[in-house]
């Protein structure tokens, strides 16, 4: 099985490279932005035609959610056009594309968790660009998997966990929003899910497993509860010697350039039923993360 991984230096990309490195049954070409800028159509086609992967996994994305409100062109080039080039080139050699998407394609107004068939209604430029990327991939390559995930924390790069641990070093008190709910997701678990999907779909032409899937963590929490657990675990493991007081605030009191969905909870039943992949056990992931970092 030949796998091309894009965005290899990112949170999910680097976790994925680590997972594939532990296996012997696949030939992996992992490219970071310096090796392949996915917005360069010619470069994408050239690499895909040279390497001829069986599966392309696109983890590259423009992920600066607030900055995107002012950089719509770059955001759409990266999150819509890049995935389209990858999907078209995959289709041209009869390869499969696996593309990562987000809870931000939803409005966040629903009272329960979002299923794959729920109506999308992004509330930000980032969310719009990610939805446009999904649609472009679906249109360009029939053999596609779109994996929507949420609230990622991985060993590489900055995320909510690294930010909280950093802030705790210099602040006695922090304010964290308590009215946005979702499932934190450990990048290592996304990587495991992606490897399992590759192993399940590769060479299984009969199985109609292509389509959209949700994968994120359980239990669902709000950011305030997530922060509480980060400090509790960090404190127990001796990573933090002082424990900041956390004040819960509402989204209204924490204005950001991009609107966030209040409900980011993704229903992960489909991926469990089709692939036997369970939701990310993010509390275990958090313990692993804090031990490592």
Ligand X SMILES: NC(=O)c1ccc[n+]([C@@H]2O[C@H](COP(=O)([O-])OP(=O)(O)OC[C@H]3O[C@@H](n4cnc5c(N)ncnc54)[C@H](OP(=O)(O)O)[C@@H]3O)[C@@H](O)[C@H]2O)c1
Q: Measured from the CB atom, is 214 or 246 closer to ligand X?
A: 214
Q: Which uninterrupted H or E stretch holds 46?
A: helix 41-51
* Residues that bind ligand X in the complex, under the rule CB under 6 A: 6-7, 9-13, 33, 37-39, 59-63, 78, 82, 100, 102, 130, 149-152, 157
Residue number closest to ligand X, CB atom: 10
CB of 251 to ligand X, least distance (A): 17
User: Which residue among the candidates 126, 186, 213, 289 is catalytic per the annotation?
Assistant: 126
Nearest to 186 by CA among 157, 233, 152, 215: 152
Cβ atoms of 198 and 98 closer than 8 Å = yes
CA–CA dist 74, 162 (Å, integer):
26
Q: Measured from the CB atom, is 13 or 244 closer to ligand X?
A: 13
Q: Measured from the CB atom, is 47 or 95 closer to ligand X?
A: 47
CA–CA dist 271, 209 (Å, integer):
10
CB of 12 to ligand X, least distance (A): 4
Annotated active-site residue 202? The verdict is no
Nearest to 283 by CA among 211, 235, 226, 210: 226
CA–CA dist 24, 174 (Å, integer):
46
Q: Measured from the CB atom, is 120 or 235 closer to ligand X?
A: 120
CB of 55 to ligand X, least distance (A): 16
CB atoms within 10 A of CB 229: 17
- φ/ψ (deg, to 5) at 215: -145, 115
Q: Catalytic positions, please? A: 126
């Amino acid at each position: 099985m030949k796998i091309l991984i894009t965005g290899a230096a990112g949170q999910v990309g680097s976790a994925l490279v680590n997972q594939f490195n532990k296996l012997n049954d696949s030939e992996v070409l992992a490219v970071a932005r310096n090796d392949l800028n996915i917005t360069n159509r010619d470069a994408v086609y050239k690499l895909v035609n040279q390497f001829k992967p069986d599966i392309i996994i696109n983890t590259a994305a423009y992920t600066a959610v607030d900055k995107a409100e002012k950089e719509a062109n770059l955001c759409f080039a990266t999150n819509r056009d890049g995935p389209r080039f990858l999907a078209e080139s995959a289709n041209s050699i009869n390869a499969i594309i696996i593309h990562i998407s987000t809870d931000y394609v939803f409005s966040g107004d629903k009272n329960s968790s979002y299923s794959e068939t729920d109506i999308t209604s992004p509330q930000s430029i980032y969310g719009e660009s990610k939805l446009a990327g999904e649609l472009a991939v679906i249109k360009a390559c029939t053999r596609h998997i779109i994996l929507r995930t949420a609230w990622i924390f991985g060993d590489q790069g900055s995320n909510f966990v690294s930010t909280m641990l950093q802030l705790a070093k210099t602040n006695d008190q922090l304010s964290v929003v308590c009215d946005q709910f979702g499932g934190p997701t450990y990048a290592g678990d996304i990587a495991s899910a992606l490897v399992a999907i590759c192993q399940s779909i590769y060479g299984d032409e009969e199985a109609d497993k292509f389509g959209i899937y949700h994968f994120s963590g359980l239990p669902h929490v709000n950011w305030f509860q997530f922060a509480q657990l980060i400090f509790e675990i960090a404190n127990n493991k001796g990573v933090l010697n002082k424990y900041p007081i956390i004040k819960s605030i509402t989204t209204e009191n924490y204005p950001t350039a991009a609107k966030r969905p209040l409900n980011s909870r993704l229903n992960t039943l489909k991926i469990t039923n089709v692939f036997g992949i369970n939701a990310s056990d993010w509390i275990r992931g958090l313990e692993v993360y804090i031990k490592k970092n």
